[in-house]
Amino acid sequence: MNQNPEQLAQNSAQNPLPKQASRAAKPPQAIWNNIFVFPPNRDTLGGTAYLIVENDANILIDCPPWNEDIQQFLQSLSGVKWLFLTHRGAIGKTKELQETLNCQVVIQEQEAYLLPGVSLTSFQDEITLSPTTQVIWTPGHSPGSACLYYSGHGGVLFSGRHLLPNQQGEPTSLRTAKTFHWRRQMSSIQKILQRFTPDTLQYICPGANTGFLRGQKVIEQAYQRLAALDLSTLVQSQTPL
């Protein structure tokens, strides 16, 4: 009997493999019936990966922890067609993922050089992966930082490290010593606000700091919260963390 993706995730949690699983290993969790969030990945400094299940053209957003349980989970859902990397810090075990899943890897062209030996699809400003998904270049955090927009569920932006929750769970950009260009990052937020509306952007799935969401899994009322940011003050006031 076929099981839906959410049932498979629950089974993964209830019946872990006895040899490969450890107490530290956590299964992916369903956000909606076709979108899953993975536990933070130590290979990407605590980055959070996501999976969109779409008519045999599944999209993996950033690299999840790479272990036997997660491999089997992905393969049980007909594998992965696209692995989209939001920025250079999300590369993780991309080569191993591609070899195992035979997926196509998508990354913004300015960071493609970081993946020698990997078959890539690179893009400049944006690329469409399916009728419901578009990748948008949002430079600032890194030269090739990009977000994926999914039109289902009222509009979901998978933001990588371009937009992260702060300690209060509010979406913002966080300036660090590794930030490529802070002013361009502010411009990329404005680009998102100009492209979408409250009706087309209702959620953000951030690529890190998900513990600050305190179990909520997503940032709700995404457009309104982004619009409330004072970008002119933010660009002047924040010093690197």
pLDDT tens, residue by residue, 168-221:
888 898 888 889 999 999 999 999 999 999 999 999 999 887 878 777 889 999
Distance CA 74, CA 51 (A): 9
Share of the chain above pLDDT 90, in %: 72
Contact by Cβ (8 Å): 146, 136? yes
pLDDT in tens, 35-55: 999 999 999 999 999 999 998
Whole-angstrom distance, CA of residue 58 vs CA of residue 51: 7
End-to-end Cα distance, the chain: 51
Amino acid at 160: G
Cβ atoms < 10 Å from Cβ of 201: 23
Q: For the chain, how big is the Rg over CA atoms in Å?
A: 17
- Confidence category of residue 106, pLDDT binned at 50, 70, 90: very high
* Cα distance between residue 105 and residue 89, in whole Å: 15
Q: If you average pLDDT over every residue of the chain, what do you get?
A: 89
pLDDT at 212: 82
pLDDT value of position 25: 67
Inform me whether the pLDDT recorded for 223 exceeds 60.
yes
DSSP annotation of 204 reads: E
114: DSSP letter: G
Identify the three-state secondary structure at position 9.
helix
Per-residue confidence (pLDDT) for residue 176, from 0 to 100:
86
**What tens digit of pLDDT does each residue of 139-165 get?**
999 999 999 999 999 999 999 999 988
pLDDT at residue 1 tops 70: no
Report the pLDDT averaged over residues 64-93: 96
Mean pLDDT of 116-123: 97
Rounded Cα–Cα distance for residues 190 and 232 (Å):
11
Token couple for 38? 């993975």
Lowest mean pLDDT among 62-71, 73-82, 203-212: 203-212
Q: Does the global pTM surpass 0.75?
A: yes
Question: How many whole angstroms separate alpha carbon 165 and alpha carbon 30?
Answer: 20
Q: Which residues contact 51 (CB under 8 A, 6 or more apart)?
A: 28, 35, 36, 38, 58, 59, 60, 61, 64, 74, 77, 80
Give the number of C-alpha atoms closer than 13 A to the C-alpha of residue 224, restricted to the C-beta side: 6
Look at the block and give the residue holding tokens 């191993």.
Answer: 96
Report the alpha-carbon distance of residue 126 to residue 136 in Å, rounded.
5
5-237 belongs to CATH 3.40.50.11390: no
